[in-house]
Structure 1
Amino acid sequence: MTGGLRGPRAIVIGGSAGSLDALGVMLPALPAQLDAAVVVTLHLPREQPSLLCDIFRHRCALQVREAQDKEPLTPGTIFFAPPDYHLLVDAGPSLALSIDPPLHFSRPSIDVLFESAADVYGPALTALLLSGANADGARGLAVVQRMGGIACVQAPASAGAPAMPEAALALITPDHVLMPAQMAPLLNQLHQGRVS
């Protein structure tokens, strides 16, 4: 799937408690010309509609959408997982929604997103795990790295809830440990193929 590509074709981001602060710094700083799809899974209350698109739509240069089942994964777009559905990357590439049981007490689960995206994109994937209060995402980040993708973790000192990035750091040595202000510049550089 990756033949000849110089940079990642997709970016997957996961987080929970405290991650909105990092997203608020990072997503508006991503350039309009970023030729990659960005897929975001956050732990959300199941019984309430998500406000993430409303929060970010007018702050970002990229298009912002709530993910729909079977929707093509298009570059230049940020897709947010809807509440109470697992969000997966499928062949195509496209997005898929699932009502399989929660993982780490969470649906959507970050592990589900990261592992499915790694299967489709392999080395053309960058994954970033943000602040959160449980271990969701650590195993998925390990799969991304094993499949040749780039694994990034928010620096625990900058996380409102450091348990999630700390769980990843206990499991793997990520390619990058980042403060929020470093995230968008690095993602842009990775896409341009300037760093690895």
Structure 2
Amino acid sequence: MSDTSGFKLLVVGSSLGGMTALVQLLGRLPEDFFLPVVAVQHLAPSTESQLAEILNRHIALQVKEAEEKESISASTVYLAPPNYHLLVETDLTFTLTLDELVNYARPAIDVLFETAAEACGPAVIGIVMTGANSDGAKGLSHIKQKGGWTMVQEPSTAQSKAMPDAAVKTAKPDLVLPIDAITDWLLALHTTQKRRTLV
């Protein structure tokens, strides 16, 4: 973490067990956390998601579903809506698509991660957490190839370790840690960034 000044975006992927994992990851972040957070949680396509409402009860950051062409702002958690892929554009806005399923999922973590890497290059932090498939592994590898920072939940601590295992094997991430330790890392990054802005 020698240079933290260039980060613009934090992207997170989760599936089975992801709601609990997201609360754990984001619950200690302050309401003025300096990065936008964009998350894909695998959801049933035919149901209205209550994930934003649930997360808003447990975390200080504002949580909302991402909207088409919406500008991405700091201190906000954006969630992919059910049955839509969520893409990050180079002007830091969102695109929602009904393109084919990826890894049997829509929204797919790989789609978010790959477009975030293309849009922001080394300015992206990617995190893969609990899940029962391999979604996110390819996308996290793409983030690393573009110079971004990559983290994976320690598989032995995940409710379902298939997704973290696949991400570790494919992406060879920078850090593999329990969720609480990932949050500690993000809090340290936030503190460092605030000090930079005060100088």
TM-score interval, smaller chain: over 0.9
Q: What does 1:39-58 correspond to in 2, within 5 Å?
A: 39-58=38-57
Alpha-carbon deviations, 1:150-183, whole Å to 9, x = none? 0100100111110001011111321111212112
DSSP-derived class of the 1:14 partner? strand
1: CA distance, partners of 2:124 / 2:188: 14
Q: Report the CA distance between 1:35 and its aligned residue.
A: 1.3
Which residue of structure 2 aligns with residue 93 of structure 1? 92
- For residues 32 and 8 of structure 2, what CA distance do their matches in structure 1 show? 13
- Decide whether the 8 Å contact of 2:86 with 2:107 is kept in 1: yes
Q: Which has the higher helix share?
A: 2
Q: Which moved more, 1:68-77 or 1:54-63?
A: 54-63
Take 2:181 and 2:43, find their aligned partners in 1: how far apart are those partners? 25
> Which has the higher mean CA deviation after the structures are superposed, 71-80 or 7-16?
7-16
Code of the residue aligned with 2:140 in structure 1: it is L
Q: Distance in 2 between matches of 1:101 and 1:44?
A: 15
Partner of 2:26: 27
User: Aligned partner of 1:26: which letter?
Assistant: L
Runs of 4+ in 1 over 4 A off after TM superposition: none
For 1:172 and 1:39, locate their aligned partners in 2 and report how far apart those are by CA, in whole Å.
19
| Distance in 2 between residues matched to 1:127 and 1:7, nearest whole Å | 14
Shift of 1:99: 0.4
Contact 1:88–1:113 at 8 Å: present in 2 too?
A: yes
Q: Determine the C-alpha separation between the residues in 1 that align with 2:171 and 2:55.
A: 31
Q: TM-score, normalised by structure 2?
A: 0.91
Query: What's the C-alpha RMSD, in Å, of the aligned pairs?
Result: 1.6
Give the equivalent residue in structure 2 for 1:9.
8
Is the deviation greater in 105-114 or in 21-30?
A: 21-30
Give the superposition deviation at 1:190.
Answer: 3.2
